[in-house]
Structure 1
Amino acid sequence: MSAPIEDYALLSNCRTAALVSREGSVDWFCAPRFDSASVFGALLGEAEQGCWRLRPHDEAARATRRYDGDTFVLITRWETPSGVAEVHDLLPVDGGRVDLVRRVVGVSGEVEFTTHLRIRFDYARALPWVRQMGDLTAPALHATAGPDALVVRGVALAPHGHAHRGRLTVAAGETRDLTATWFPSYAPTPEPLDVDAALAETRDWWTQWAASIAHDGPHRDEVVRSLLVLRALSHQDTGGIVAAVTTSLPEQFGGARNWDYRYVWLRDAALTLEALVNHGFLDVAESWRLWLLRAVAGDPAEMQIMYGIAGERDLAERELTSLPGYQGAAPVRVGNGAVDQYQADVVGEVMVALEAARVAGLPDEPFSWALQRALLDGVAANLDRPDNGIWEIRGEPRLFTQSRVMMWAAFDRGVRAVEEHGLDGPVDRWRMLRDHLRDEILARGVDATGGYFIQHYDSHEVDASLLVLPQVGFCAPDDPRMLATVAEIERQLMGTGLVDRYRTASGVDGLAGTEHPFLACSFWLVEQYASSGRVADAEKLMDLACLAHNDVGLLSEEFDPVAGRQVGNTPQAFSHLALVRAADALHGHSGRAAHRR
């Protein structure tokens, strides 16, 4: 059975990722991209779905782990009765190859390790043809199935059923390097990796990137790690920013709310972009803007709410029977049916993020501004169209208040671009549409009795997404309607101390079952508290939400405060970017658009 979600640490080379458990097992690894088929898929099943386990032979060994400073080099320290040793795991960056490195370092005494390797390409649907290569001094195992090949070096491996096992021993001062290199099966087998050089280059790459982070306020360690995670989810070549590195980790254990998050949601990517821009990373903004131009090229009216990492459009959702699911949560899905949804807030998020880049000093190019104008035409053409909302409901489309506000924000940023930055456009029309939306929202999006903003028109429910209204400048954090909304959120959505997205019992999402508090929503409320003067409440909730971190600073999508378990896909960009904004608010940065109010 796969480990608890919080037991996994992330390795990333900014092209793909691997997840390593506390027990030293690589249970998730897709190659060569985040959204490729898995090579190791035990995360969504059992060991037979593919894994690479490396740990001391002595089952009594105790492990502690950490990242090597501000990097994604994972150091697991094993203490045994016979000695102490470390395993340094990494995916080398900027090498033009896909290597998974597991360096074993003797610290004291002598430690015997065992390794268990089970390769299962194509989401465990392809049992590879395996052959031994090399010799006793340089053993290698070569596995091939269809388009995929993997060569594993550094330890002699003997067959054991449809798996391979091996042993190695390190004494104090000794080092053994184990590597697994993915490559296309039609290509020549890559030469052995220079592990010393790859390790040094990877450490330097991450450390230099992190050194540019400017944040000396509260929760600095969490902010730095969160920004590192956001960079780890950004594809080095294409500029696409994935929402998470996993698929089908459940929102309800044993349930069917299991989705594939290894794609680029325009909303999530725009919010990630904004968090990075606010901390000085304009190069990421420029790379993503170019990605956006490529992805939406042609007719912006055909814009999707999500794309593949290189801008692919065909993300049809399908179910896999080869992976039984995380601890039995089925089905496992690849692709995402939300690709066909209309989500009216998305253009607003893109416009807000691109304005943040513009204000930070990234000038608009003719093509990028032409795209933004075309996107605003699309918003105007769909002005009265119900949508599926920020939470991608699979029930009846509605006029969601948050979606309407983000449409307002889209036109607002268009007006500001002309008035404040000298760009061209039909500013009078945009201003008219912006003001029309504002009047409509205040007339139809506020509960007549309670005076709070509502989830969608004609409802009495609240929704945590309403916390973004002051963030984008629609109203002040201390607007009476906003304060009433917060009070209603506290009453309806905080039964566990953290914030739920909405009441699933209302049936608005069209899905069976329930879910757990969505971590980004709690961080949004921290930002709201801090911006409206409730600093003590903000600090208290921030401390509580940060308890959802695992031991190496990673956040999943949701958290079960009762069981103390992470829930949903991991690591989740939405959770980490919301944490960064919450910490900024506690540091005195009063929201995404304080200057717009």
Structure 2
Amino acid sequence: MWLSGEMQSPIEDYALVSDLHTGALISRDGSVDWLCFPRFDSDSVFAAMLGTPEHGRWLVAPLSPESEVVERSYISSTFVLQTHWRTPEGEVLVTDFMPLTDRRANVVRRIQGLRGSVTLRQELEIRFGYGDIVPWVSQGTEDGVPVLLAIAGPDALLLRGPRLKAADHRHEGTFEVAAGDVVDLELVWYPSHRDKPPALDIDEALDSVISYWRAWGASCLDDGEYADAVQRSLLVLRALTHEDTGGIVAAPTTSLPEQFGGARNWDYRFCWLRDAALTLEAMMTHGFAEEALEWRNWLLRAVAGDPEDLQIMYGLAGERQLPERELGHLPGYADSVPVRVGNGAVDQYQADVVGEVMVALEKLRGHGVTEDNFSWPLQRALLGFAEKHLDDRDHGIWEMRGDLQYFTHSRVMMWAAFDCAVRAVRDHGLSGPQQHWTDIRDGLREEILQRGFNRELNSFTQVYGGSELDASLLQLPQVGFLDYDDPRMLGTVERIEKDLLDAQGLLLRYRTDSSDDGLEPGEHPFLACSFWLVEQYAHGGRLDEAKRLMDQLVGYSNELGLLSEEYDAVNNRMAGNFPQAFSHLALVRAADALQMARGEADPHESMARE
């Protein structure tokens, strides 16, 4: 049991297991503290990560207070977690995974005796509705195996394993595991109006899930210095992808704070067009052509319809209604409130999004993927939307909740959208008003250089007419707006280093104490921004600095290779939602940049090597 007032586990102490529909976060202490069934964006059944055990968790760990974790790791190239426990009486291996075999929504925990005899404790507190709904629980047997059934409204959870005892709205018990013993626990969710799913063949399910992940990971084309980190990052992107729809969530969690004790707590269990576009690029760069097409098709389905209804994010299947609300019954991670579900940024206008989509689809064309009768007309419609809103201010890439502005990054991404359109006609023979798009593109470039670049400061600025910096300016050369070594870019980098680098050498997105983002100041460095700086250093000829920063950033991964959204380098702890797709995407790009700058095989040609 957690003691009164005890804090949740550090974010970096969590592991992710996934079934390509949802994911569970398991602490180093053996507790499943976050799990939503049956989808990433469903209500949670365990929410202790945002509160206390009374908000739902599933603990399996040795009873002895002298127990210790000897090692915790994934089986190579998989999301099958293994935790080796040692106690004075013996040792056990706990294997946690989510089966992929029959599309059921479940978690399996296998305990194997390695030495001596170990007493394990199990504590189960099921709370549907984000920790708010206590279910009706009954117990019985099924083919001689104890079963526990919890039901509340449309949801049912069935646990197969050692019998538990009711104790103050939770269930707990102990069981012995001797050397050579194997004890399996299976927790399965199903709609309460349906029949109970039959027992799973655990051996078969485990073999199948290992085979799947290993086969998928083996397809990763990367042999550079950071190959292991790149492969794990690509595996994370796959683990955060909904198998049926192709939608990728930004993270499997909500409301893990960007500032401990603060209000910058957001729900990331949705699909941002920006993330989908960057994921598409990462996948095709590293040999996953099929996955790239899946994400392209999700993206095109999501934005289909009236271009005026374009959103920056969607649900896993392309849902458009994602209303934000606060869960007042949850005290939050590290007392960070409010806890939010849904995301109000869905209603924002972010002018960069069309550009992000167009850049990704242009690169897909460059890899030889032809447009169909749906994809190119839809892109033309998006260009029409961008042209109609050419003079509109927006909220920017960081989803500012202050006044609308002309963000320099947003204007550059609009330029990129029309630049891709021009090249689609010129280089790929697609239909469209090439000269008209050229005129819009060139007009945007002239405007950006006049209004987004401060000659006195020798730097691009966050917004037109301003003096503040923004790390998203590092993306200007990434989309070809200017060269990495252009004097204007070098001047911008110099100011970014001066104004946005913290004492530990990490890059802030922007200065929250001097930017109008609608919230109280304060957040930790956003890891993706520092990876962008690695990319800039690598392409700008500062290879030693790129390597040092890359090593520092990769070193912030936990023992399982997972990265959060932000990092508190002062206290050596992760912050923000976890694991974060954007951080892993940026890691892949940075590793590619270093490999290219060293003159090694161009990773962007990897698909051609298939």
The answer, yes or no, to whether TM exceeds 0.5 is yes
Deviations 1:394-426 (A, max 9, x none): 000110000000000000111111111111111
Which residue among 247, 269, 282 is the counterpart of 2:254? 247
Contact 2:242 2:316 in 1 (8 A): yes
Note if 1:459 corresponds to 2:466: yes
Q: Report the CA distance between 1:218 and its aligned residue.
A: 1.4
Residue 37 of structure 1 is matched in structure 2 by 43
Q: Secondary structure at the match of 2:596?
A: coil
Note if 1:531 corresponds to 2:544: no
Segment of structure 1 superposing worse, 412-421 or 584-593: 584-593
Alignment of 1:295-314 (within 5 A): 295-314=302-321
Residue 342 of structure 1 is matched in structure 2 by 349
Residue 326 of structure 1 is matched in structure 2 by 333
Which residue among 206, 229, 235 is the counterpart of 1:228? 235
Q: Which residue identity does 2:451 align to in structure 1?
A: R
- Structure 2 gaps of 5+ residues are 1-6, 606-610
Q: Secondary structure at the match of 2:334?
A: coil
Residue 155 of structure 1 is matched in structure 2 by 162
Q: Which residue identity does 1:576 align to in structure 2?
A: H
Q: Report the CA distance between 1:463 and its aligned residue.
A: 0.6
Q: Which residue identity does 2:353 align to in structure 1?
A: V
Which residue among 192, 217, 226 is the counterpart of 1:185? 192
Alignment of 1:342-381 (within 5 A): 342-381=349-388
Aligned residues: 594
Distance 1:154 1:552 in 2: 28
Q: Secondary structure at the match of 1:393?
A: coil
Note if 1:58 corresponds to 2:36: no
Distance 1:117 1:253 in 2: 28
Note if 1:316 corresponds to 2:323: yes
Contact 1:516 1:559 in 2 (8 A): yes
Note if 1:474 corresponds to 2:474: no
Distance 1:198 1:17 in 2: 17
Note if 1:415 corresponds to 2:419: no
Q: Secondary structure at the match of 1:366?
A: coil
Segment of structure 1 superposing worse, 426-435 or 278-287: 278-287
Distance 1:25 1:19 in 2: 8
Q: Report the CA distance between 1:539 and its aligned residue.
A: 0.4
Q: Report the CA distance between 1:292 and its aligned residue.
A: 2.2
Note if 1:84 corresponds to 2:91: yes
Q: Report the CA distance between 1:59 and its aligned residue.
A: 1.5
Note if 1:562 corresponds to 2:579: no
Q: Which residue identity does 2:334 align to in structure 1?
A: Q
Distance 1:360 1:241 in 2: 22
Deviations 1:438-471 (A, max 9, x none): 1111111111202111111010111100000111
Distance 2:157 2:23 in 1: 16
Segment of structure 1 superposing worse, 489-498 or 280-289: 280-289
Deviations 1:55-86 (A, max 9, x none): 00111111120000000000000011111111
Which residue among 14, 19, 22 is the counterpart of 2:28? 22
Contact 1:248 1:326 in 2 (8 A): yes
Q: Secondary structure at the match of 1:277?
A: helix
Contact 1:472 1:592 in 2 (8 A): no
Deviations 1:231-288 (A, max 9, x none): 1111100111110000000011011110000000101111111111111112122212
- Structure 1 gaps of 5+ residues are none
Residue 510 of structure 1 is matched in structure 2 by 518
Query: Kindly, what percent of the aligned residue pairs are identical?
Result: 58
Q: Secondary structure at the match of 2:351?
A: coil
Contact 1:136 1:156 in 2 (8 A): no
Residue 608 of structure 2 is matched in structure 1 by none
Contact 1:243 1:574 in 2 (8 A): yes
Contact 1:105 1:170 in 2 (8 A): yes
Residue 174 of structure 1 is matched in structure 2 by 181
Q: Secondary structure at the match of 1:105?
A: strand
Distance 2:604 2:517 in 1: 29
Distance 2:60 2:277 in 1: 38
Question: RMSD between aligned alpha carbons?
Answer: 1.4
Contact 2:25 2:35 in 1 (8 A): yes
Contact 1:123 1:322 in 2 (8 A): no
Distance 1:357 1:28 in 2: 36
Distance 1:333 1:23 in 2: 26
Q: TM-score, normalization: structure 2?
A: 0.96
Q: Which residue identity does 2:37 align to in structure 1?
A: A
Note if 1:583 corresponds to 2:591: yes
Residue 54 of structure 2 is matched in structure 1 by 48
Distance 1:201 1:450 in 2: 58
Contact 1:519 1:559 in 2 (8 A): yes
Q: Report the CA distance between 1:140 and its aligned residue.
A: 0.4
Distance 2:604 2:526 in 1: 23
Contact 1:472 1:593 in 2 (8 A): no
Q: Secondary structure at the match of 1:505?
A: coil
Distance 1:473 1:134 in 2: 64
Q: Report the CA distance between 1:593 and its aligned residue.
A: 9.8
Distance 2:456 2:246 in 1: 47
Distance 1:104 1:178 in 2: 8
Contact 2:126 2:134 in 1 (8 A): yes
Distance 1:289 1:322 in 2: 39
Distance 1:592 1:84 in 2: 44
Contact 1:282 1:362 in 2 (8 A): no
Q: TM-score, normalization: structure 1?
A: 0.98
Note if 1:264 corresponds to 2:265: no
Note if 1:491 corresponds to 2:498: yes
Segment of structure 1 superposing worse, 508-517 or 303-312: 508-517
Distance 2:422 2:209 in 1: 44
Note if 1:551 corresponds to 2:559: yes
Segment of structure 1 superposing worse, 567-576 or 322-331: 322-331
Residue 279 of structure 1 is matched in structure 2 by 286
Q: Report the CA distance between 1:94 and its aligned residue.
A: 4.2
Q: Which residue identity does 2:50 align to in structure 1?
A: L
Q: Which residue identity does 1:5 align to in structure 2?
A: I
Q: Secondary structure at the match of 2:380?
A: helix
Q: Which residue identity does 2:548 align to in structure 1?
A: K
Return structure 1 stretches of 4+ with deviation > 3 angstroms: 589-594
Q: Report the CA distance between 1:387 and its aligned residue.
A: 0.4
Residue 9 of structure 2 is matched in structure 1 by 3
Deviations 1:178-211 (A, max 9, x none): 0100000111011011111111110010000000
Which residue among 582, 588, 601 is the counterpart of 1:574? 582
CA spacing shift, 1:593–1:205, aligned 2, 3 Å:
closer
Distance 2:604 2:171 in 1: 56
Q: Report the CA distance between 1:136 and its aligned residue.
A: 9.2
Residue 548 of structure 2 is matched in structure 1 by 540
Q: Which residue identity does 2:39 align to in structure 1?
A: R
Contact 2:286 2:604 in 1 (8 A): no
Alignment of 1:380-395 (within 5 A): 380-395=387-402
Q: Report the CA distance between 1:592 and its aligned residue.
A: 11
Contact 1:252 1:513 in 2 (8 A): no
